[in-house]
A and B are shown apart, each in its own frame.
Chain A
Amino acid sequence: DSGVTQTPKHLITATGQRVTLRCSPRSGDLSVYWYQQSLDQGLQFLIQYYNGEERAKGNILERFSAQQFPDLHSELNLSSLELGDSALYFCASSEDSFSGNTIYFGEGSWLTVV
Chain B
Amino acid sequence: AQKVTQAQTEISVVEKEDVTLDCVYETRDTTYYLFWYKQPPSGELVFLIRRNSFDEQNEISGRYSWNFQKSTSSFNFTITASQVVDSAVYFCALNTGFQKLVFGTGTRLLVSP
Cβ–Cβ contact A48 & B99, under 8 A: yes
Answer whether residue A25 sits at the interface, using C-beta atoms and an 8 A cutoff.
no
User: Looking at chain B's contact residues, is the secondary structure mostly helix, strand, loop, or mixed?
Assistant: loop
Q: Known A43-B91, A45-B100, A106-B44; judge A99-B33 contact (CB<8 A).
A: yes
* Smallest CB separation, A111 vs chain B (Å): 12
Measured CB to CB, the nearest residue on chain B to A46 is B100
* Smallest CB separation, A51 vs chain B (Å): 13
Residues on B close to A: CB < 8 A?
32-33, 35, 37, 42-47, 50, 52, 91, 95-103, 105-106
Q: Which 3 A-B pairs have the closest CB atoms?
A: A105-B45, A43-B103, A107-B44
A sample of 18 more A-B contacts (CB under 8 A), given A33-B100, A107-B43, is A2-B44, A33-B101, A42-B103, A42-B106, A43-B91, A56-B98, A58-B100, A92-B45, A99-B96, A100-B33, A102-B47, A102-B50, A103-B35, A105-B44, A105-B45, A107-B42, A108-B43, A108-B44
